[in-house]
């Protein structure tokens, strides 16, 4: 199977987008979410060893999904031009040797979408939201899940952190279900 890489409607970084563009991005995210879960499901179940996996939105589906993800994380070497841009933006000591591939980034976003839907399927009080009130906010413009108290959950960002952990060998694919269990305890209970 050829995995279809996600194509956001804008090439800009979120912090560089106008608020109207951010709102369009968020709507696009919600609109493509069902299709992207389908792309993810097909990618997983067509992989040998994962043929029985289905996107059934159960917490138990996250364990095998995380294990599959660990087999998919890839990096690529940075070009000297890319390294120079990073030096200019972040300083000379912040230049990595490699970065995640576009495919890995795309798979992480798809898994983040699915993880978010697992939460909302099992906890209808949760919802997708976007905070565009302050550019200093760490998750400015990103699709978040709210309903965990004062701290929103960033599913795609969490999966990207996991991808970096897999690359550095500090995390394994088993962490995805663990993340769900940790955040589930933080869900605000309706009064």
Q: State how far the Cα of 45 lies from the Cα of 41, in Å rounded to an integer.
A: 6
Q: State how far the Cα of 69 lies from the Cα of 104, in Å rounded to an integer.
A: 9
pLDDT tens-digit profile of 131-143?
Answer: 999 989 999 999 9
Q: In a 3-state reduction of DSSP, which class is residue 115?
A: helix
The verdict on residue 189 lying in a domain is no
The verdict on residue 8 lying in a domain is no
- Cβ atoms within 10 Å, residue 46: 12
The β-bridge partners of 75 are 100
The verdict on residue 80 lying in a domain is no
- Cβ atoms within 10 Å, residue 142: 22
Write the CA distances from 6 to 46, 73, 111, integer angstroms. Answer: 18, 16, 12
Local confidence pLDDT in tens for the 191 residues of the chain: 689 999 988 888 888 899 999 999 999 999 999 999 999 999 999 999 999 999 999 999 999 999 999 999 999 887 888 777 877 777 777 667 778 999 999 999 999 999 999 999 999 999 999 999 998 999 999 999 999 999 999 999 999 999 988 888 776 667 899 999 999 999 987 76
DSSP-derived letter for residue 76 is E
The verdict on residue 58 lying in a domain is yes
The verdict on residue 26 lying in a domain is yes
The verdict on residue 89 lying in a domain is no
The verdict on residue 93 lying in a domain is no
Number of domains in the chain: 1
The verdict on residue 132 lying in a domain is yes
Residue 146 lies in domain: 17-72+104-184
Q: Find the helix packing angle between 102-122 and 62-72, rounded to 10°.
A: 170
Write the CA distances from 120 to 10, 123, 130, integer angstroms. Answer: 27, 5, 16
């Amino acid at each position: 199977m050829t995995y279809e890489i996600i194509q956001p409607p804008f090439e800009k970084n979120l912090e560089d987008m106008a608020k109207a563009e951010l709102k369009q991005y968020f709507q696009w995210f919600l609109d493509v979410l069902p299709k992207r879960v389908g792309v993810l499901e097909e990618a997983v179940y067509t992989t040998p060893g994962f043929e029985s996996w289905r996107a059934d939105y159960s917490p138990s589906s996250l364990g095998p999904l995380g294990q599959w993800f660990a087999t998919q994380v890839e990096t690529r070497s940075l070009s000297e031009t890319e390294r120079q841009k990073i030096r200019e933006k972040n300083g000379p000591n912040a230049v990595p040797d490699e970065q995640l591939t576009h495919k890995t980034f795309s798979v992480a976003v798809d898994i983040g979408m699915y993880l978010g839907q697992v939460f909302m399927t099992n906890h209808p009080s949760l919802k997708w939201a976007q905070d565009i009130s302050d550019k200093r906010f760490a998750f400015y413009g990103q699709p978040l899940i709210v309903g965990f108290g004062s701290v929103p959950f960033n599913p795609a960002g969490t999966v990207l952190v996991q991808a970096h952990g897999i690359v550095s060998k500090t995390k394994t694919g088993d962490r995805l279900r663990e993340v769900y269990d940790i955040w589930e305890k933080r869900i605000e209970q309706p009064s």
